[in-house]
Structure 1
């Protein structure tokens, strides 16, 4: 008996998605709740589980197709037995070629895209690192390949000069090199990238965006971090980073300058008496901004734990859509990639975003003396329709003072 596989509910206001990948092919054996397909939404990738145990039936849509919530995308023959072992040797299988091809499909032998259990993050890692999945031994559940498996295979390939030949064989690069010609590759934008592009352009078109800058001496925070990082990690089970200090300092500054934490709704200004801080983190599909709820009520340890969890799950593609809704203010740390200075773009409907950058030793004047200090540039992009220049500058100065004297964070000064 065939059971229909339907597109699950994807979250509030999300009515469609793009089929990013089939994890199971027709004829493959599947278990109940085992992922059989991956959907790309505006924000995250979502795996579609099998509703029953049985054999994968026909695919109703192709990779790249747009599907609506509740639509049927495939069928699963409940309780059936996979014909993989008997169908493969049969030469006359024209009436069901997909079943014949299903025998080798579970093992990633002949083709780089043949494994049935490659998640979006694993697939991207394979493409970025140039690893042939046929050479990767999966250590995940049921032998599935994980991102760590791909990274380990890439490191092994680099450490063995004679090994790259098998992995490089499927790639078109050698052929392009021998022909001497140039090549282009056209890749369809993911739904996440399309959404990022649209929202960033909307922000530019709607907000009267302006950026103001300041710099901050990181000496005190670095000293505090070096002094307490071991005790902090031992007690809280998470590393003490700089983001905890900046989120706490931002929350304090937002209380002093409430317009920076507000938003425009039509002809109204909406002020928030809470601070939901969006933190920009990298994912395989692009930048995502999960939200630290009530960050003003959390300790530095609570903030660091939340950010660490967001970063890990963003790489794994397991962030939930509800975790990226809302947010009253955004912090983006381009310094982890080496950025010296930037003009970050507002994340609508928010009215401001703080950009952090790399720390570098610079000569500064302190008490009439030229000294070397670890300095960081801060950038605040804001909607000038709501936030005046005085408020923007005051916000940055308040944050700068808190970072340069972290005791202020303890006494709310």
Structure 2
């Protein structure tokens, strides 16, 4: 079975390579037409997609999946419309392929140009979020890449239907259906065969929980980009506007708990703790948030005493860890110890404090007086995103079109030869 599965994954990768070789020659007009047709097809076939998703949700509920996971899995009419609009937004973005990054003419007359080119075949390994299926397919297409999608078994029916819709749309505009392929999801070996298909696959992007991401990054022989575990912090400084701080904390924590940009930790400067701790405790509890607090927070009613594990936990639920810190530097040290490099925020009216915080905090996105909920490709003007990169090489932060490209040097001469020696 394992050999058969490996052959199946490798065969899909070879088909993807053929599709990518054709796609690299496609004009922006053809790619944009495909994206618009994909969006239209999603809208036309929304009832079919939602029906498949209901089957996944029913199976997930029967299996006892947590509420946050079910929320990520769910596709409503509004969410289908959202992913369709995301494809249309990608269509109006500039095509990164062929963009000249730099260039010059050497003294000997050689003309140098460094230009963006597609990665080629991009694998995506992700958990029960069927919207990722559409986002990944759309971004890969616009950036000239063929996508191999390995979703989770919890979203099997949803992903199968979505990919069928997208493939039909591609064929209708005379682009290869194999630009988008769904890999088997019931055997974890399919992930292993994908991430070790060196020479067949150019890049793998894992998107999901820490266990999935670590397994892919540690076992892959194909280049990978590490994405998005989000232990995000909001730090309320000594000179914060407390009305603003309350609004930002509530938005960052409660807007949507199942996403990686949700705040999981709250840090409060000791100089405002006497006023802000009881205030934010009441506000969070009114939103049904359980607070896992240090000694000062634990003095408030119904606050759970935090343990060591709480400071590094990505809850993905209506829970938050909360601590009073002695200084901005203490907050920065706490974030350096427990943060995941995703998104961090400071609330302050002190420009010097804000500058110190943004300079010292090592994360993909650092916010001043704004919610961490804004770490999102669409909010950053990228349309859809393929993930939030928390690494430092090649791509960092929301990954849009340009992050799915590499570059090549194109050199023009007129019979130039290099002297011997």
TM-score, normalised to structure 2, is: 0.24
Q: Determine which structure has more spread, i.e. the larger CA radius of gyration.
A: 1
Q: Which has the higher helix share?
A: 2
Q: Name the structure, 1 or 2, with higher relative contact order (CA <8 Å, separation 6+).
A: 2
TM-score, normalised to structure 1, is: 0.24
Q: Which has the higher strand share?
A: 1
